[in-house]
Structure 1
Amino acid sequence: MFSFNDKWRAWVVVALLFLFMVINYADKAVIGLVAVSVMHDLSLTPRQFGLVGSSFFLLYSVSGVVFGFVANRVKTQWILVFLAATWAIVQFPMVGSVSLPMLITCRILLGVGEGPAYPVALHACYKWFDDRERSVPNAIIAQGPFVGMMLAGPILTFFIVRYGWHSAFLALGVIGIVWIVLWLLLGKEGTVDADGATQKEDHQETVPYGTLLTDPTVVGNFILWFAAFAVVALCFTWIPAYLRLGLGYSATTTGWLFSMIVTAQIPVAIALSWVSKKLLASGVSSRVARGVLAGGPIVMAGAIFWSIGSIGSPGAKVACLAAGSAMIQLIGWLGPLMLGEIVPTRQRGALLGIHNSVGTVAGLVAPAVMGFVINDALSPAAGFEQGFELLGALLVLSGLIGLYLVNPEKSRMRFFRLIQTSESPQPANTGISKRMSHDGGLINQSKE
């Protein structure tokens, strides 16, 4: 076995979790890249293919909630192995003869394995870093989805064009198995949450789930993530098809354009993440540094998607797709951090899972709605652009509601008071001091 000290092991784990998310999002993106070929070979209408895209999310959210609670009790080290094995196994039936029922079944099972992936990966990361050190590793893992989709565009398209669309699924299955081997050799469970008096004291400090789930900051994060994930789900399922059927690009050009659209998201996410960190360091409230910085761009993205239909140039339409997709990304990073500020450690895994699952219900709806709109439109291009108008309206409305609701400081104080009220009186001079943290968990406790 390999041996690392804790410092290096922590960053090896971050690197593996980054690769975990790269594979996760390449798995998601492949269905959009093979869309035109699959519709042709299986004689599917846009409505049927939209249902295929949505089927991936049928149990995605349920799985996310279930594994969120499992992560409170089972080591994330083994949960990650199970999830990655599920992804790999369901790719192989797609290598041979495929029918519509088989396609839908494999996508549903893939959704079961991928639904909990991001929150469980973050939960595993948080076990290696305390709250004040999580920004950088959190940001690295959050880049995994971007890189996964960016690489999927040209690489999987190469396999599709040269060897047929079945080969893309074979490649993803093999890559999943390779990751499992690496994780078993190099991965390990972190101990930050289990160290010292913090965990011993904190294990009693919980807030009723009814109270957590109706808190305005939590609800606001749910709404923002729901709207953002509608864009993400359409990127997986329909954006490559729009580039081909709506704008007339070739399969190879579509692969590169899809990669460019995703690549444009990375500097925007990094820049806004840096701004958020600087604002927090300068004393700006989390409501502004995280809430406004996540919600405001979603409103802007809504306006961008709404305008696509009125733009004549295909190049300008592609630029709008890139800009709109980039604007919604930050909530995927800042949302979990905001929840990490206010949720007790013992309940963090479950809340991250619920948050991800509630938001990703959009994936069950958005691809199917787009498919129905395209199917009933005068032309594929007109159908896509009508769908983008609906998406724009959803983003603007959800962004405004989220901006109004999100207030981590207020929620943290509310939960703090609930915990203090529910605790039995502590003996004097216990040696324990409790203080609220500006940028991190609900309560930090330390021996004086």
Structure 2
Amino acid sequence: MFEAEGSRFAGATATPPVSTVPLERSRSRRWVIVASLFLFMLINFADKAVLGLVAVPMMHDMQLTHAQFGLVGSAFFVLFSLSGIAVGLFADRVSMKWLLAALALTWTCAQLPLAWPSSFAVLLLCRILLGAGEGPASPLALHVVYTWFDDRERNLPTTIVQQGATAGVIVAGPLLTYISQRWHWHATFLTLGVVGAAWTVLWLCVGKTGHRARSVPSLAAAANGQARLRYRTLLSDRTVIGVMLQCFVGYAVIAVGFTWVPAYFRLGLGFPATQAGWLFAAQVATQIPVGIALALFSHRQLKRGVPSRRARGALISTACVASGLAYCVLFLGVPPYVKVALMGLASALAIQTFTFGPMLVAEVAPSGQRGALLAITNSITTTAGLIGPFAMGKLLGAAGDSHAYETGFAVTGALLLAVGVAGFALLDPQRSRRRLDALQ
């Protein structure tokens, strides 16, 4: 929005005000960017979801045990966090256009080898490579969005981009299940590889970052030449700690969901493959109205002058508590369709940690360190992906029945209750901002 701002002010004394056309073009351009990043996240999460959707035929054809398949699910996260941190540390110094294109191209390279019969070792390596390419994706996509919108405008575009993740699973559920049954599960990986390559071409045509700073205090800090803060200082902030706790458990929900929930619907609840695919998509679709409703409520609260400690922090903490309660109810032996509905509500609320968490971190972070801090916090919290799928696989291998799934979900619910309660005490970005400003 501010590409030509410097030249416009420089010539203000010699020429009349310029046309508003560049401003209008910039406003239109930022929504093109949001739409492109929505597709980016859609592909990102379809890539994640495919493993769970083809779990049963893949385990049968490759003769994998539950523990081995759980290891494959966790392998995705071996380099996920390390890649996120490594890329995040120089994210503010390189072109986001080329960086996001490189990530999407990596996804393509990781999917295509699985389009043909492969060994267990190749399967592991491809999932590790995919994780390395997807580790920095979400925080960097949001970083690009934040360069086009100021803090008070970020709720809607953040929600749209994050809903790309939901849409990816909704599309992947029935579509990839159909492709797997119509042709073969290998065809699902070929499809995703081609789609990733197509998005890379699209982004190279339209991709661009904006130039908005985080807030007026950050602009003042830059003007006064204030020093960058140590990342140890930023990561030890109470708000950042609260975000990481909630997002850690939230990502455990995501990782276990992608790896095991479709199999739970088939093997645990007895639904046929096609119906399980649609139910999985319907469950994930719950995240759209829930996410939009929470984002609009938070936006209205902020417009009324409610501090983000309440409009964002208390709201997402309440969502975590409600999600935890819903997961715990699964352990009570309710009917199958009720379990599907409860899991839909629980996961929809838990995943909102990745909508509100980055906004809270962005409020706290100095603008020059925002991209790196978003990537680092995301990388730390997504280490939950290393633990969740493998732990569930070991639990299933030991118990071998649907009750083991529900035990795992109940443990997740208890953790959500804990981090939700902690969030009420920890999440206060205004207090954090005052503290960090005093250290600069």
* Whole-angstrom distance in 1 between the partners of 2:394 and 2:215: 53
1:398 aligns with 2:413: no
Q: Which residue of 1 aligns with 2:243?
A: 221
Change (3 A) 1:130 1:209: same
Of 367-376 and 293-302, the range deviating more from structure 2: 293-302
Paired amino acid for 2:317 = G
* Whole-angstrom distance in 2 between the partners of 1:205 and 1:15: 35
The structure 2 residue matched to 1:11, chosen from 17, 31, 56, is 31
Q: Indicate if the aligned counterparts of 2:150 and 2:214 stay in contact, CA closer than 8 A.
A: no
* Whole-angstrom distance in 1 between the partners of 2:401 and 2:55: 14
Q: What CA deviation, in whole Å up to 9, does each residue of 1:273-303 have, x standing for no partner? A: 1111111122222111111111111122112
Matches within 5 A, 1:124-273: 124-193=144-213, 198=219, 201=223, 204-273=226-295
The Cα RMSD (Å) is 1.9
Q: What CA deviation, in whole Å up to 9, does each residue of 1:191-220 have, x standing for no partner? A: 334999948527644222121111111001
* Whole-angstrom distance in 1 between the partners of 2:405 and 2:159: 32
Matches within 5 A, 1:30-69: 30-69=50-89
- State the shift of 1:331 in Å: 1.4
Matches within 5 A, 1:41-440: 41-193=61-213, 198=219, 201=223, 204-377=226-399, 379-419=400-440
Of 201-210 and 257-266, the range deviating more from structure 2: 201-210
Q: What CA deviation, in whole Å up to 9, does each residue of 1:115-149 have, x standing for no partner? A: 10000101111222233332222121111101011
Q: Indicate if the aligned counterparts of 2:36 and 2:203 stay in contact, CA closer than 8 A.
A: yes
Of 100-109 and 292-301, the range deviating more from structure 2: 292-301
Q: Indicate if the aligned counterparts of 1:14 and 1:125 stay in contact, CA closer than 8 A.
A: yes
* Whole-angstrom distance in 1 between the partners of 2:214 and 2:303: 27
Q: Indicate if the aligned counterparts of 2:156 and 2:296 stay in contact, CA closer than 8 A.
A: no
Unaligned regions of 5+ residues in structure 1, if any? 420-448
Paired amino acid for 2:410 = E
Q: How does the TM-score come out when normalised to structure 1? A: 0.90
* Whole-angstrom distance in 1 between the partners of 2:155 and 2:426: 23
Paired amino acid for 1:130 = D
Q: Extract structure 1 runs of 4+ deviating beyond 6 A.
A: 194-197
* Whole-angstrom distance in 2 between the partners of 1:162 and 1:58: 32
Change (3 A) 1:300 1:194: closer
Q: Indicate if the aligned counterparts of 1:150 and 1:259 stay in contact, CA closer than 8 A.
A: yes
- State the shift of 1:387 in Å: 1.1
- State the shift of 1:223 in Å: 0.2
Q: What CA deviation, in whole Å up to 9, does each residue of 1:248-290 have, x standing for no partner? A: 1111111100110011111011111111111112222211111
Q: Indicate if the aligned counterparts of 1:205 and 1:344 stay in contact, CA closer than 8 A.
A: no
Q: Indicate if the aligned counterparts of 2:235 and 2:241 stay in contact, CA closer than 8 A.
A: yes
Q: Indicate if the aligned counterparts of 1:227 and 1:362 stay in contact, CA closer than 8 A.
A: yes
Of 280-289 and 256-265, the range deviating more from structure 2: 280-289
* Whole-angstrom distance in 1 between the partners of 2:236 and 2:211: 31
SS of the residue aligned with 1:356?
Answer: helix
Q: Indicate if the aligned counterparts of 1:47 and 1:375 stay in contact, CA closer than 8 A.
A: yes
Q: Which residue of 1 aligns with 2:9?
A: none
* Whole-angstrom distance in 2 between the partners of 1:359 and 1:301: 18
Q: What CA deviation, in whole Å up to 9, does each residue of 1:368-421 have, x standing for no partner? A: 1000101100x33121111112211221122222222111111011112122xx
SS of the residue aligned with 2:210?
Answer: coil
Percent identity over the alignment?
47
State the number of aligned residues: 416
Q: Indicate if the aligned counterparts of 1:202 and 1:346 stay in contact, CA closer than 8 A.
A: no
Q: Indicate if the aligned counterparts of 1:291 and 1:403 stay in contact, CA closer than 8 A.
A: yes
Q: How does the TM-score come out when normalised to structure 2? A: 0.91
* Whole-angstrom distance in 1 between the partners of 2:37 and 2:334: 41
* Whole-angstrom distance in 2 between the partners of 1:333 and 1:201: 30
Q: Indicate if the aligned counterparts of 1:375 and 1:383 stay in contact, CA closer than 8 A.
A: no
1:20 aligns with 2:20: no
Q: Indicate if the aligned counterparts of 1:76 and 1:123 stay in contact, CA closer than 8 A.
A: no
SS of the residue aligned with 2:118?
Answer: coil
* Whole-angstrom distance in 2 between the partners of 1:213 and 1:393: 25
Unaligned regions of 5+ residues in structure 2, if any? 1-21
